[in-house]
Amino acid sequence: MTDVSASILTTADGKPLKAALAASQARARRKAFMLVAPLFLFVVITFVIPIGQMLFQSVYNDTFSATAPALRQWFDENPPGTEPDEAAYAALVSDLRLMREERSAGAAGTRINYDISGTRSMFTGMARKADKLEPPYKEAVLAEDKKWDNPDVWRAMRSASSPFTIDFYLAALDMTRDETGSIVGVKEGQAVYKMLFGRTLFLSALITVMCMALAFPIAHMLATLPMAKSNLLMILVLLPFWTSLLVRTTSWMVLLQSQGVVNDFLVWAGIVGDDGRIQMMYNQIGTVVAMTHILLPFMVLPLYSVMRTIPPSYVRAARSLGATSWTAFRRIYLPQTLPGIGAGALLVFILAVGYYITPALVGGADGQLISNLIAFHMQKSLNWSLAAALAALLLGGILILYWLYDRLVGIDNMKLG
Amino acid sequence: MTNAADDEGFVVFDRVQKSYDGETLVVKDLNLSIGKGEFLTMLGPSGSGKTTCLMMLAGFETATHGEIRLGGENINNVPPHKRGIGMVFQNYALFPHMTVGENLAFPLEVRGMGKSEREQKVKRALDMVQMGNFINRRPAQLSGGQQQRIALARALVFDPKLVLMDEPLGALDKQLREHMQFEIKHLHETLGITVVYVTHDQGEALTMSDRVAVFNDGRIQQLAPPDELYERPQNSFVAQFIGENNKLPGVVETLSGDKCTVRLETGEIIDATPVNVREAGQKTLVSIRPERVEFKSEMMPEGAHTIGAEVLEVIYMGDIFRTRMRVAGSEEFVMKSRNTLGQTKLVEGEKIQIGWHPQDARALDPM
Ligand SMILES: Nc1ncnc2c1ncn2[C@@H]1O[C@H](COP(=O)(O)OP(=O)(O)O)[C@@H](O)[C@H]1O
Ligand SMILES: [Mg+2]
């Protein structure tokens, strides 16, 4: 016993040192926590919970399964591919009656409609008639509406009868299940999402490269000009930040549309004919130009903050050692700006991948990005689970990029401002 | 061309002027000729234009007027990378993303030198500064003194004929600085290179240089070897800037040849050597080094004037005593006397007579 007590360090009055230290720091820790608490709560409520809920929705959807207990039971008892028999139709009718009672036929129908379009009305219509149906139900139902014979509808109901599903992810990756339940690609012509993901990544990369090309010289100037001039230039760079996003986007519309300022100038200058006005709006050009402009400050600021810390003596040293100005730039200056390039590129790319308003306004059909489709599923088709799955894939992609960046450049090397 | 170079020196500033803003001249009419193999120091207070001169020589600033010649050729329009001048920057400017070896190989690489020759030269340069074992370190992993050595090695590795150093030891502590002064001097002697060295530390300038150019206000105030600079300053600025000096303002009483007497403001007459006073009645500032002040009459020359002094403070400094006295109304008059075995110990409040050899008191222009 005495050995143990001797081995623990104690304060002068015999309290264990660790406990005394914790007690003495408790007040400071409590204070620190109080300072952080408001933001912490805010972030939990407005960020962690919604994102968690979104991720949950992408794999959980009970709008059908909650009002179809009998069908659920039948699907559990019979393996996939079983021809729906009388018992199956009896279950269907019983569930339709329940839906009529709970007024949930529309919602349940919408869920099946995600998979097979035009099926929502089958549910609402049949639910209205469900009370009048008499056994044998199979004949009764089919007599009312021949479409219930469709095995695709039954397959869709089977998959929707379990609230947990990865089907939304399959849909988000242009995949579906065939008759036997195995995963296959969707038919030619129905695939949209993979192409959109590809386009989003490509356009974001293009925008990032354009931002980098435009921001690098400006940031360099900002970092090397005397204070008074660089402040003025900085205000010009930040001006877009102080203008509403919508105003900026619409001003690009004024500039780029076919009767717009740029085209008018080109026609005036005789570069293009009046009938050959260039289409720069409602296509990818519009999206790229407007987003490059809007995201430019996010590239300039990290670059500037890195460049400001690079003393001019490095390039001078390189020059005095015999390097031409190009070699000095490439071998000495550029490598030292990498943390800024990395931070700016990551920032611009991540923002571009998730951008919504600008492509929605100036992108037309071909300039749409994945986030516009997410918005479509949130607002128009009301397929929140698919929207959530698309968003989760986007989030996953960004996290992977972030991880790659950390592996290649090191996140500690990043400098944001 | 080569003849001209022999005649006029290796590096020549010919009536060079420099203005950054078009309103003030930072360098005013600089004429300076530096011989081959010379160690020349530009010494002066901060803002006196030393760095600007060095930058013009290196090619990073253009001269507003005048010509800079290197080896007899006008280099005003030669870009920095073609001048072949080695340079050591104040903060070393070692490339942080390269190892020591890569830093040193850089000037050789851009000259298109082969790998084996490069490695050999890098190794030789590192050995020269006793840093052979650090070839794979990054600059951030080195101490200030080590970085300084690497910067020196990098400036020398491509065998430049001329090396410029802008306050290279400014960031080091005193002991290391003194050690590096010695090493730089040693390298200069063994390699036979021409060095233009910039510092605001007079001790550094005096110990290292063949000649020192004292800068102030964009002009060279005096260009001379260290001993001459210390013992025979040409004007009050130099006298004041180099070493410690006692200053006694007064009016020239008599002037004959290389001797004069000066009447101080309090009426006493002292001996002095006229430096830049021309006639009796002119205002002057007499400057005397503290270690040349004597208080024992047998140490003063025959017939020297003496002046009364009251001891205010005696500071024991080990090798010397530093005695502060009230002389001719000034309380800042200092005398330094060696701490020898039989040295007379002065005490506070004691009244003594002091004097000096007329050569040691220099009558300069009043500031
Ligand atoms: N790039 C510059 N632009 C404008 N003024 C400068 C610049 N560099 C130096 N100066 C001015 O020139 C004067 C001399 O500076 P400098 O040559 O650096 O002096 P030193 O090296 O002797 O301290 C100072 O007054 C300084 O403010
Ligand atoms: Mg300087």
Distance CA A250, CA A253 (A): 5
A269 and A402: one domain?
A: yes
- Closest chain B residue by Cα to residue A327: B110
Nearest CA, atom 9, ligand 1: B52
Total domains, chain A: 3
Q: Which residues fall within 8 angstroms of residue B227, CB to CB, at 6 or more apart?
A: none
The model's confidence at residue A187, banded by pLDDT at 50, 70 and 90, is confident
Nearest CA, atom 5, ligand 1: B20
Q: What is the pLDDT of residues B275-330, one digit of tens each?
A: 888 888 889 999 999 999 988 888 887 777 889 999 999 999 999 999 999 998 88
The predicted pLDDT at position B7 comes to: 60
Q: Taking the C-alpha atoms of A66, A70, A76 and A82 in order, what is their torsion angle to the nearest 10 degrees? A: -120
Gap from CA of B53 to ligand 1 centroid (Å):
10
Q: Of A137, A156, A185, which residue constitutes the final position of a domain?
A: A185
Distance from CA of A230 to the nearest CA of B (A): 17
- Ligand 1, closest atom to CA B46? 23
- Chain centroid to Cα A257, Å, comes to 28
- Chain centroid to Cα B366, Å, comes to 23
- Does A62 map to a domain? no
* Reported ipTM: 0.81
> Which residue range is the domain that position A351 belongs to?
193-413
Residues surrounding ion ligand 2 at CB below 5 Å: B 51
Gap from CA of A49 to ligand 2 centroid (Å):
58
Report the pLDDT averaged over residues B113-128. 93
Q: Of A127, A153, A185, which residue constitutes the final position of a domain?
A: A185
Distances (CA, A) of B295 to B267, B310, B345: 20, 11, 11
Put simply, the answer to whether B158 touches A322 (Cβ < 8 Å) is yes
**Mean pLDDT estimate for chain B:** 90
B258 and B124: one domain?
A: no
A320 interaction partners in chain B (CB closer than 8 Å): 58-59, 80-81, 83, 85-87, 155, 164
Nearest CA, atom 10, ligand 1: B20
A336 interaction partners in chain B (CB closer than 8 Å): 96-97
Report the pLDDT averaged over residues A326-353. 92
Which residues approach ligand 1 with their CB closer than 6 A? B 20, 26, 44, 46-52
B217 and B317: one domain?
A: no
The predicted pLDDT at position A141 comes to: 87
B123 and B218: one domain?
A: yes
The predicted pLDDT at position B160 comes to: 93
The predicted pLDDT at position A36 comes to: 92
CATH of the domain at A249: 1.10.3720.10
- Does A21 map to a domain? yes
Nearest CA, atom 25, ligand 1: B47
Distance CA B288, CA B358 (A): 10
Distance CA B198, CA B196 (A): 7
Q: Of B236, B261, B294, which residue constitutes the final position of a domain?
A: B236
The model's confidence at residue A345, banded by pLDDT at 50, 70 and 90, is very high
Size of interface A-B (CB pairs under 8 A): 65
B204 and B251: one domain?
A: no
The predicted pLDDT at position A416 comes to: 60
Strands B211-216 and B65-70: unpaired
Query: Hunting for tokens 């919508």 — which residue is that?
Result: A246
B162 and B207: one domain?
A: yes
CATH of the domain at B196: 3.40.50.300
B266 and B178: one domain?
A: no
Distance CA B78, CA B83 (A): 7
| Closest CA relative to residue B44, chosen from B213, B291, B182 | B213
Nearest CA, atom 8, ligand 1: B52
Does the pLDDT value for residue A271 go beyond 50?
yes
A37 and A82: one domain?
A: no
- Does A289 map to a domain? yes
B286 and B224: one domain?
A: no
End-to-end Cα separation, chain B, in angstroms: 43
Q: What is the pLDDT of residues B241-269, one digit of tens each?
A: 988 889 999 999 998 888 889 999 888 88
A181 and A253: one domain?
A: no
Gap from CA of B19 to ligand 1 centroid (Å):
9
The DSSP secondary-structure symbol of B278 reads -
Q: Which residues fall within 8 angstroms of residue B117, CB to CB, at 6 or more apart?
A: B108
A228 and A359: one domain?
A: yes
B117 and B134: one domain?
A: yes
The predicted pLDDT at position B1 comes to: 38
* Three-class SS of chain A: CHHHHHHCCECCCCCEHHHHHHHHHHHHHHHHHHHHHHHHHHHHHHHHHHHHHHHHHHHECCCCHHHCHHHHHHHHHCCCCCCCCHHHHHHHHHHHHHHHHHCCHHHHHHHHHHHCCCCHHHHHHHHHHHHHCCCCHHHHHHHHCHHHHCHHHHHHHHHHCCCECCHHHHHHCCEEECCCCCEEECCCCCCCHHHHHHHHHHHHHHHHHHHHHHHHHHHHHHHHCCHHHHHHHHHHHHHHHHCCHHHHHHHHHHHHCCCCHHHHHHHHCCCCCHHHCCCCCCCHHHHHHHHHHHHHHHHHHHHHHHHHCCCCHHHHHHHHCCCCHHHHHHHHHHHHHHHHHHHHHHHHHHHHHCCCHHHHHHCCCCCCCHHHHHHHHHHCCCCHHHHHHHHHHHHHHHHHHHHHHHHHCCHHHCCCC
Distance from CA of A235 to the nearest CA of B (A): 25
Stretch among A4-8, A269-273, A333-337, B91-95 having the lowest mean pLDDT: A4-8
The model's confidence at residue A189, banded by pLDDT at 50, 70 and 90, is confident
The answer, as to whether pTM is greater than 0.90, is: no
Coil, helix or strand at residue B89: coil
A129 and A47: one domain?
A: no
Does the pLDDT value for residue B5 go beyond 70?
no
- Does A331 map to a domain? yes
Does the pLDDT value for residue A133 go beyond 90?
no
Put simply, the answer to whether B110 touches A324 (Cβ < 8 Å) is yes
- Does A154 map to a domain? yes
Strands B351-354 and B307-316: antiparallel
Which of A311, A316, A321 is the closest to B110 by Cβ? A321
> Which residue range is the domain that position B353 belongs to?
244-364
Put simply, the answer to whether B95 touches A313 (Cβ < 8 Å) is no
Total domains, chain B: 2
Coil, helix or strand at residue B279: coil
Distances (CA, A) of A262 to A44, A253, A268, A284: 46, 10, 10, 17
CB B30 within 8 A of CB B53: yes
Distance CA A393, CA A173 (A): 9
Distance CA B50, CA B219 (A): 10
**Mean pLDDT estimate for chain A:** 87
B133 and B260: one domain?
A: no
